[in-house]
Structure 1
Amino acid sequence: MTQSLYDQMIHSNTGLGQMMLRDVLLPSILGTEADGILYWAGKDIARQFPVDSDDKLISLFHQLSLGTLSLIKKNSKQQVWELAGDEIIDRSKLSHATFNFEAGLIAQQIEFQTNMVTEASVEVEKKKIIQITVYHDSSNQVTDETPINFIQLSE
Structure 2
Amino acid sequence: MANETTGQPTRFGYELLRDHVIPDILGKHEDDILYWAGKEIARKFPVFSVDEVPQFFKEAGWGTLVRVSSGKEEIDYELTDRLESPATEDAFSLESGFLAEQHQIANGCLTECYGSRDADTGRIVLQVRWDETYNLGD
Query: Would the TM-score normalized by the shorter structure come out above 0.5?
Result: yes
Task: Give the 3 Å change call, closer, same or farther, for CA 95–65 of structure 1 in structure 2.
Answer: closer
- Given that 1:118 and 1:135 are in contact with CA atoms closer than 8 Å, whether structure 2 keeps it comes out as yes
Aligned-pair identity in percent equals 33
Provide the TM-score with structure 1 as the length reference: 0.75
Residue 142 of structure 1 corresponds to 136
Alpha-carbon deviations, 1:21-72, whole Å to 9, x = none?
Answer: 1121101110000000000000000000001223311111111010000111
5 Å-filtered alignment, 1:2-151, equals 15-85=11-81, 88=82, 90-91=83-84, 93-95=85-87, 97=89, 98-125=91-118, 129-143=123-137
Q: Assess if the C-alpha contact under 8 Å between 1:84 and 1:128 holds in 2.
A: no
Structure 2 residues without counterparts, runs of 5 or longer: 1-9
- The one-letter code matched in structure 2 to 1:94 is P
TM superposition shift of 1:128: 5.5
Q: How many residues align?
A: 128
TM-score of the two chains, using structure 2 as the length reference = 0.84
The Cα shift of 1:74 comes to: 1.0
CA deviation profile, 1:56-106 (whole Å, cap 9, x unmatched): 111111110100001111111211011100xx2x41x41454110000000
**2: CA distance, partners of 1:125 / 1:25:** 27
